Amino acid sequence: MTVIIINEPRFIGEADTRMIQGEKRKVLLLNDFCFVDSAGFEWLAKKDSIIDGSSIPWFLWSIIGSPFVGLHRLASITHDVYCVSKSQPHEKVHQMYFDACRLNGVSKTKAKLLLSGIKLGGPKWGK
């Protein structure tokens, strides 16, 4: 008999943050936080990472949510870390954001809208 192990996407840790004084939109991550995708890859955001939340234009905040408010917030933590480190291809990092949004309860339509915004105006880097 063959045993197939299915990885369930999940978050590990608490998304505890603290605003950084003197910074408009930067927060400090107070502990390790991780998103594990369906392939079992661990997207780790280490304690003391500095994050700036989802880059949503202010005029869409009432529809989508502001950078640190909404179900997309947890996804933005690991996304921010990997957009800075560039240790994974941008396509994978942006897909991870979509998957983490969905895991945290963002509707498929809204998650696709967020992903489209990232694909249009988000960071891109070589592999």
Report residue 121's pLDDT band, with 50, 70 and 90 as the boundaries.
confident
- pLDDT of the residue at 55: 77
Output the CA–CA distances (angstroms, integers) from residue 46 to 13, 84, 99, in the order listed: 11, 13, 20
Per cent of the chain over pLDDT 70 is 93
State yes or no: pLDDT of 5 exceeds 70. no
**Cα distance between residue 18 and residue 29, in whole Å:** 7
CB atoms within 10 A of CB 109: 8
Strand runs (DSSP E) across 32-117, as ranges?
A: 33-36, 42-45, 50-51
Per cent of the chain over pLDDT 90 is 67
16-63 pLDDT, tens digit per residue, is: 999 999 988 899 999 999 999 999 999 999 999 999 987 777 677 777
Specify the 3-state DSSP secondary structure of 9. Answer: coil
Contact 49, 80 (CB under 8 A): yes
Q: Who's near 79: CB < 8 A, 6+ residues apart?
A: 54, 93, 94, 96, 97, 100
Q: Which residues pair with 19 in a beta bridge?
A: 27
